[in-house]
A and B are shown apart, each in its own frame.
Chain A
Amino acid sequence: MYRDRRAVSLIIIGWSLTAAVWAGFDRQHGFAVDHLRLLVVGGFLLAGPGLAAVRLMRLTDRLLATVVATGISLLTLVVAAQASLYTDAWSPPAVVGAIAVLTALLAAAGARRAPAPAAAGPADGEPAAGAP
Chain B
Amino acid sequence: MNRGRILCAALLALAVPGGFWVARGSGDGDVGPWGLIGAMPPVYWLCLLVPAAVFLRELTRDRDPWLLSGALAAQALLLHGAAAAAEALPRFATAWLHAGFTNQILVTGELTPALDARFSWPGFFSAAAVFSSAVGVEPVALLEWAPTVFVLAYLPPLALLARSLSGSVPVMWTTLWIFLVANWIGQDYFAPQSLALLMFLIAVSVVCRVFLEPPGGSPQRRPAGPLWAGAGRLRQLAGRWTTTPPPVHPVPGIRQRVALLAFLVLLLAALSMTHQLTPFMLAATLAVFALAGVLRPRLLPVIALTVAVGWVSFGAAAFWTGHLRTMFGGADESIGSGVEDRLTGSEIHQWVLYVRISFALLVWVLAALGAAHALRRRRLSLPAAALAFTPFSLLAVQSYGGEGVLRVYLFSLPGMSLLAAGLIVELIGSRQPAVPARRRRVAAAYACTVAILPVFFVARYGNESFERVTAGEVQAVQALYAAAPPGSLLVSVTPNLPWRYQGLAGYSYLSVQSDELALDRAAPIIALMSQHSQGAFLIITRGQTVYAEESYDLPKDFSGRLEREISASGRFRTVHRNDEGVVYRLVSQSEADDVSG
With contacts A92-B129, A121-B249 known, what are 18 further pairs, Cβ within 8 A?
A19-B134, A60-B250, A64-B160, A64-B210, A68-B263, A71-B199, A71-B263, A74-B267, A74-B270, A75-B266, A78-B274, A81-B130, A85-B109, A88-B109, A95-B130, A96-B130, A127-B249, A129-B249
10 contacts between A and B (CB under 8 A): A19-B134, A37-B136, A61-B248, A61-B250, A63-B159, A64-B252, A81-B127, A119-B250, A126-B248, A128-B248
Instruction: Return the contact of A80 from the options B130, B199, B206 (Cβ within 8 A).
Output: B130
Contact A82 B123 (CB under 8 A): yes
Instruction: Return the contact of B270 from the options A19, A75, A85, A91 (Cβ within 8 A).
Output: A75
A45 to chain B, nearest CB (A): 6
Let me know if B290 is at the binding interface, CB within 8 A: no
Question: Which residues of chain A have C-beta atoms less than 8 A from B136's C-beta?
Answer: 25-28, 34, 37-38, 41
Interface residues of A (CB under 8 A from B): 19, 22-23, 25-28, 34, 37-38, 41-42, 45, 57-61, 63-64, 66-68, 70-72, 74-75, 77-82, 84-85, 88, 90-93, 95-96, 119, 121-129, 131-132
Let me know if B137 is at the binding interface, CB within 8 A: yes
B173 to chain A, nearest CB (A): 12
Instruction: Return the contact of A85 from the options B122, B169, B195, B205 (Cβ within 8 A).
Output: B122
Q: Mark B237-277, 1 if CB is under 8 A from A, else 0.
A: 00000000011111110001001100100110110011000
Let me know if B230 is at the binding interface, CB within 8 A: no
The docked-state distance in angstroms from the alpha carbon of A126 to that of B153 is: 23
Asked if A85 meets B105 with Cβ closer than 8 Å, knowing A23-B133, A75-B266, A79-B266, the reply is: yes
B273, closest chain A residue (CB): A82
Question: Which residues of chain A have C-beta atoms less than 8 A from B269's C-beta?
Answer: 75, 79
Instruction: Return the contact of B263 from the options A72, A96, A129 (Cβ within 8 A).
Output: A72
The docked-state distance in angstroms from the alpha carbon of A42 to that of B263 is: 22
Contact B130 A128 (CB under 8 A): no
A-B Cβ contacts below 8 A, count: 164
Contact B135 A38 (CB under 8 A): yes
Interface of B is mostly: helix
User: Interface centre among B110, B209, B248, B252, by most A CB within 10 Å?
Assistant: B248
Contact B134 A23 (CB under 8 A): yes
Question: Which residues of chain B have C-beta atoms less than 8 A from A57's C-beta?
Answer: 256, 259-260
Let me know if B202 is at the binding interface, CB within 8 A: yes
Instruction: Return the contact of B169 from the options A92, A96, A125 (Cβ within 8 A).
Output: A125
Question: Which residues of chain B have C-beta atoms less than 8 A from A71's C-beta?
Answer: 199, 202-203, 206, 263, 267
The docked-state distance in angstroms from the alpha carbon of A19 to that of B130 is: 13
Contact A61 B214 (CB under 8 A): no
Question: Which residues of chain B have C-beta atoms less than 8 A from A64's C-beta?
Answer: 160, 206, 209-210, 252
Contact A34 B249 (CB under 8 A): no
Question: Which residues of chain A have C-beta atoms less than 8 A from B334's C-beta?
Answer: none
The docked-state distance in angstroms from the alpha carbon of A79 to that of B163 is: 30
Question: Which residues of chain B have C-beta atoms less than 8 A from A28's C-beta?
Answer: 136
Question: Which residues of chain B have C-beta atoms less than 8 A from A22's C-beta?
Answer: 134
Interface of A is mostly: helix
Contact A67 B206 (CB under 8 A): yes
Contact B167 A127 (CB under 8 A): yes
Question: Which residues of chain A have C-beta atoms less than 8 A from B199's C-beta?
Answer: 71, 74-75
Contact B252 A45 (CB under 8 A): no
B129 to chain A, nearest CB (A): 6
Contact A132 B214 (CB under 8 A): yes
A38, closest chain B residue (CB): B135
Question: Which residues of chain A have C-beta atoms less than 8 A from B248's C-beta?
Answer: 61, 124-128, 131
The docked-state distance in angstroms from the alpha carbon of A121 to that of B246 is: 15
Contact B249 A82 (CB under 8 A): no
Contact A127 B131 (CB under 8 A): no
Asked if A67 meets B263 with Cβ closer than 8 Å, knowing A38-B137, A78-B274, A81-B127, the reply is: no
A129 to chain B, nearest CB (A): 7
B266, closest chain A residue (CB): A75
Closest 4 CB pairs of A and B: A90-B109, A131-B246, A92-B133, A81-B126
B163 to chain A, nearest CB (A): 5
B158, closest chain A residue (CB): A67
Let me know if B519 is at the binding interface, CB within 8 A: no
Question: Which residues of chain A have C-beta atoms less than 8 A from B169's C-beta?
Answer: 125
A42, closest chain B residue (CB): B135
Let me know if B524 is at the binding interface, CB within 8 A: no
Question: Which residues of chain A have C-beta atoms less than 8 A from B267's C-beta?
Answer: 71, 74-75
Question: Which residues of chain A have C-beta atoms less than 8 A from B122's C-beta?
Answer: 82, 85
Contact A124 B259 (CB under 8 A): no
B68 to chain A, nearest CB (A): 13
Let me know if B489 is at the binding interface, CB within 8 A: no
Question: Which residues of chain A have C-beta atoms less than 8 A from B153's C-beta?
Answer: 70
User: Interface centre among B136, B248, B260, B270, by most A CB within 10 Å?
Assistant: B136
The docked-state distance in angstroms from the alpha carbon of A67 to that of B210 is: 12
A123, closest chain B residue (CB): B249
